């Protein structure tokens, strides 16, 4: 049996996780959720990994939950356990110290669209399509709604959730779900170029910034500024921040400490 998640390192510092259930449109079975969670748990302590890319094999990026598996055991207890497992996985994405980029080449629906929305960044190919279409089956996409409503405006999110309509990649970008849309043949190169750009930045600043971003966005304005001020004060004491600012003052290129350690 093939591994559900394939892990590779396209360049030093970048970890590529590839969803590998192509015949099932990479549906998030319990096994797939557990395999992804194991990868995220390991990455949370991997200081050599500085950017994570999530991609997929086959025609689809991810078609959401495995509906056959869900229908096989209809009980409230089972469904609560399943959706709690999925929610933990989605939260793990934002708790990772590394930026996570979704590399979307094809269909991303329901929890698959949620996965894209929970990534920090997303690059899509022109054939990609997105939907939270559970409502067409009688199941409102409540857990995907949490992620979708934090990427899109309320009315855009509600429109997708209430209608189940599909949108193309360009529309997804205009709605704020993805950062960039490129031709399919350019998808891997463009995503990797974005990852490489992040690699040039001091890792402490990137990690602190990611943590601060998600914490402040859920708090009242005054508390958000307090958190941001504390984060910047801590960030300023990082050797690379001190060096970067001094280099700017001296009008010279910075001599990054993190580069010397690589």
Give per-residue pLDDT as tens, 82-130: 999 999 999 999 999 999 999 999 999 999 999 999 999 999 999 999 9
Same domain, 188 and 234: no
- H or E stretch covering 89: helix 76-95
Instruction: Identify whether the C-beta of residue 99 lies closer than 8 Å to the C-beta of residue 123.
Output: no
Q: So what's the pLDDT on residue 260? A: 77
pLDDT band at 1 (very low <50, low <70, confident <90, very high): low
Q: So what's the pLDDT on residue 261? A: 72
Give per-residue pLDDT as tens, 167-220: 999 999 999 999 999 999 999 999 999 999 999 999 999 999 999 999 999 999
Give per-residue pLDDT as tens, 67-77: 999 888 889 99
Q: So what's the pLDDT on residue 257? A: 87
Residue where the block lists tokens 């396209």: 10
Same domain, 135 and 237: no
pLDDT band at 256 (very low <50, low <70, confident <90, very high): confident
Q: So what's the pLDDT on residue 232? A: 87
Sign of CA dihedral 20, 24, 26, 28: negative
Structural domain boundaries enclosing 103 = 5-199
Ordered strands of the 167-168 beta sheet: 60-62, 107-109, 129-131, 167-168
Instruction: Identify whether the C-beta of residue 13 lies closer than 8 Å to the C-beta of residue 51.
Output: yes
Q: Domain ends where: 199, 222, 245? A: 199
Q: Which residues, 6+ apart, have CB-to-CB distance to 67 below 8 Å?
A: 27, 137
Same domain, 255 and 193: no
Same domain, 124 and 188: yes
Structural domains counted in the chain: 2
Q: So what's the pLDDT on residue 130? A: 98
Average pLDDT over residues 50-59: 98
Residue among 119, 28, 144 at smallest CA distance from 82? 28
Q: Domain ends where: 155, 171, 199? A: 199
Same domain, 44 and 112: yes
Could you give the angle at the alpha carbon of 182 between the alpha carbons of 181 and 188, nearest 5°? 110
Q: So what's the pLDDT on residue 50? A: 98
Same domain, 182 and 218: no
Same domain, 39 and 138: yes
Q: So what's the pLDDT on residue 98? A: 98
* CATH number reported for the structural domain that contains residue 111 in this entry: 3.90.226.10
Instruction: Tell me if residue 226 falls in helix, strand or coil.
Output: helix
The first and second tokens of residue 242, run together, are 């001190």
pLDDT band at 258 (very low <50, low <70, confident <90, very high): confident
According to DSSP, the residues that pair with 53 across neighbouring strands are: 16, 101
Same domain, 67 and 110: yes
Residue among 110, 185, 106 at smallest CA distance from 142? 110
Q: So what's the pLDDT on residue 73? A: 81
Same domain, 150 and 244: no
Q: So what's the pLDDT on residue 95? A: 97
Q: How far is CA 220 from the centre of its chain?
A: 24
Distance CA 85, CA 63 (A): 17
Same domain, 149 and 82: yes
Q: So what's the pLDDT on residue 262? A: 65
Q: Domain ends where: 178, 199, 220? A: 199
* CATH number reported for the structural domain that contains residue 218 in this entry: 1.10.12.10
Same domain, 54 and 97: yes
Same domain, 168 and 253: no
Which DSSP category does 23 fall into? Answer: G
Residue where the block lists tokens 């939270």: 132
Distance CA 164, CA 50 (A): 36
Give per-residue pLDDT as tens, 232-252: 899 988 999 888 989 989 999
pLDDT band at 24 (very low <50, low <70, confident <90, very high): very high
Instruction: Tell me if residue 129 falls in helix, strand or coil.
Output: strand
Residue where the block lists tokens 């984060």: 231
């Amino acid at each position: 049996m093939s591994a559900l998640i394939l892990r590779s390192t396209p360049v030093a510092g970048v970890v590529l996780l590839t969803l590998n259930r192509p015949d099932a449109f990479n549906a998030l079975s319990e096994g797939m959720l557990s395999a992804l969670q194991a990868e995220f748990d390991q990455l949370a302590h991997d200081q050599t990994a500085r950017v994570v890319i999530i991609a997929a094999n086959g025609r689809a990026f991810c078609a959401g939950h495995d509906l056959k598996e869900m229908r096989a055991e209809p009980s409230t207890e089972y469904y609560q356990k399943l959706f709690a497992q999925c929610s933990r996985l989605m939260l793990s994405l934002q708790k990772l110290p590394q930026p996570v980029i979704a590399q979307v080449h094809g269909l991303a629906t329901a929890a698959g669209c949620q996965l894209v929305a929970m990534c920090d960044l997303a690059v899509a190919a022109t054939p990609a399509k997105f939907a939270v279409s559970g409502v067409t089956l009688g199941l409102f996409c409540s857990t995907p709604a949490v992620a979708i409503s934090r990427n899109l405006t309320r009315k855009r999110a509600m429109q997708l959730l209430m209608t189940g309509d599909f949108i193309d990649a360009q529309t997804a970008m205009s709605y704020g779900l993805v950062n960039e849309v490129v031709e399919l043949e350019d998808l891997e190169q463009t995503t990797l170029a974005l990852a490489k750009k992040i690699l040039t930045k001091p890792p402490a600043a990137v990690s602190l910034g990611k943590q601060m971003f998600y914490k402040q966005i859920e708090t009242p304005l005054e508390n958000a500024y307090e958190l941001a001020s504390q984060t910047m004060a801590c960030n300023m004491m990082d050797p690379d921040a001190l060096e970067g600012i001094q280099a700017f003052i001296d009008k010279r290129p910075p001599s990054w400490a993190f580069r010397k350690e690589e």
